[in-house]
Amino acid sequence: MTGNPRLTALRDALFEHEIFTAGALQCPHVTVQAIGLHEATWNFTPTELEDELARMQTLGWVSGNPIGYWYATEIGQIAREQRWQELERRHPALSDPRSAVEDLILGLAHSEAAEFPEFLPGAQRLPERVLSVYLAHIDPPRREHAIDSLLSAGLAVRGPDYDNPGETALFTTREGAIAYARAVVPRLGLCPPATLLSRSEERGLPFGGLGFEPLVAENLAFRWAEAQRCMRACAWLASAVLYGSMLELVLVDWLSRDEQRARAASRAPKNPKTGVVFPLEKWSAEKLIDVAAELNLLGNGIEKYAQGLRGTRNLIHPAKHIHERSELDTHAAQIAQLTVRAVIEALASATRDSVTTSAPTTASLQH
């Protein structure tokens, strides 16, 4: 992606349009005006959209004609899919080299979740053309071998793709549906109703788009995934402690972006002897939350839950845990998860606002 934050946001906004959906038919009938109706593009002018489409065309991601109609190429759909995986809008199993290709195909069939009762009642349909987009990282011969294995095992059948005459689609059988639910879901680490393409319990936290240093973003993503594994294992204390560590990491980084303002806050911790504000890295989690709330980075409700999560995280100390006799359950762990999500989404919103503040006003567009 481009190193210019606004151009990155512009490209992501264009990627939201349905022409970049895997397997979307390449019919050149979408205009810039039609693309500009998509809410994701509202922060950008028609000229910016046209210029970015022109850049995408040089990359082979879109194709247009002299009268202004556009469609995304397969290369463009793959680029969008790779970007969505980078932003963690897909389940990590989709790009994990350890995932069996057969499992991914069955998982994608259930992710698409399109039913064609005329062919097979209740069967999940997967147009074969989308596999080259979702599984672009897998060699075509391996994809074909995996399809043959599913057909031979009776887990899927091949039939016509009714949306695209002349092409084929895969339809899961009853045995395929059972195999998906009982074997594929646990192997891929899915938590239904979440799928490979839509994780309802982890709806695309943008660790890579929050302004963190790459290593910090990577560590946050790791901690989130680890906490999710603890949740699935009913390890409530372990998951809450991990969520608490993420909260502290996010707040330290966020406040450091305007450290002068943070240190000037009335609730910033001071040395009782000298009155000098402690360095940010010396602040307790309690003070990080206090100052973030004072600077209106967190809403009042988030602040209260964040302080609660701080207390829960402190149960990592055995003496405190024994003294309080605390027994966490699924509800406490879910509150911890939602608290961290709220803080991260607040940061994401602030980051987006900082990127788009240079967007022209309505008045400027009229001149």
- How does DSSP classify residue 363? H
Average pLDDT of every residue of the chain = 83
pLDDT band of residue 363 (cuts 50, 70, 90) is very low
- Amino acid 350: pLDDT: 77
Residue 233 lies in a domain: yes
pLDDT digits (tens, 9 = 90+) for 324-347: 666 677 778 888 888 888 888 888
Per the CB < 8 A criterion, the answer to whether 92 and 225 are in contact is: yes
For residues 236 and 340, state if they share a domain. yes
- Amino acid 24: pLDDT: 80
Last residue of a domain, one of 32, 64, 86: 86
For residues 256 and 345, state if they share a domain. yes
d(CA 61, CA 155): 34
pLDDT band of residue 367 (cuts 50, 70, 90) is very low
Dmax over CA atoms of the chain, in Å, equals 80
Is the model's pLDDT at 124 over the cut of 90? no
76-112: burial string, b at 16+ Cβ within 10 Å, e else? bbbbbbbbbbebbbbbbbbbeeebebbbbbbbbbbbb
Concatenating the DSSP letter of every residue in 328-340 gives: --HHHHHHHHHHH
Is the model's pLDDT at 160 over the cut of 50? yes
pLDDT band of residue 118 (cuts 50, 70, 90) is very low
Q: Which residues contact 32 (CB under 8 A, 6 or more apart)?
A: 46, 49, 50, 53, 68, 70
For residues 243 and 335, state if they share a domain. yes
CB atoms within 10 A of CB 217: 18
For residues 102 and 72, state if they share a domain. no
- How does DSSP classify residue 114? E
176 three-class SS: helix
pLDDT band of residue 364 (cuts 50, 70, 90) is very low
d(CA 30, CA 71): 7
Is the model's pLDDT at 351 over the cut of 90? no
Last residue of a domain, one of 52, 86, 120: 86
Residue 365 lies in a domain: no
Question: What's the CATH number where 66 sits?
Answer: 1.10.10.10
For residues 257 and 324, state if they share a domain. yes
Residue 283 lies in a domain: yes
For residues 212 and 351, state if they share a domain. yes
Instruction: Look at the chain and report how many structural domains it folds into.
Output: 3
For residues 348 and 260, state if they share a domain. yes
Instruction: For residues 244-255, give the mean pLDDT.
Output: 91
- Amino acid 1: pLDDT: 52
For residues 250 and 128, state if they share a domain. no
Find the domain containing 62 and state its range: 5-86
Cα dist. 335→2, 27, 177, 235 in Å? 36, 46, 33, 14
Is the model's pLDDT at 317 over the cut of 70? no
Last residue of a domain, one of 65, 86, 107: 86
For residues 323 and 251, state if they share a domain. yes
Residue 30 lies in a domain: yes
- Amino acid 200: pLDDT: 47
Instruction: For residues 196-222, give the mean pLDDT.
Output: 75
The pLDDT > 90 percentage for the chain reads: 41
For residues 216 and 334, state if they share a domain. yes
Torsion, CA 178, CA 182, CA 183, CA 186, rounded to 10: 140
For residues 169 and 260, state if they share a domain. no
CA atoms within a 13 Å half-sphere pointing along the CA-CB vector of 172? 27
Q: What residue spans of the chain are helical by DSSP H? A: 5-15, 32-35, 46-58, 74-86, 101-112, 131-134, 140-152, 174-179, 185-188, 214-232, 236-256, 259-263, 285-294, 300-313, 318-324, 330-356, 362-365
Per the CB < 8 A criterion, the answer to whether 32 and 14 are in contact is: no
For residues 82 and 96, state if they share a domain. no
pTM reported for the whole predicted model: 0.56
Query: Burial of 344 by CB count in 10 Å (0-12 exposed, 13-18 middle, 19+ buried)?
Result: buried
d(CA 271, CA 127): 65
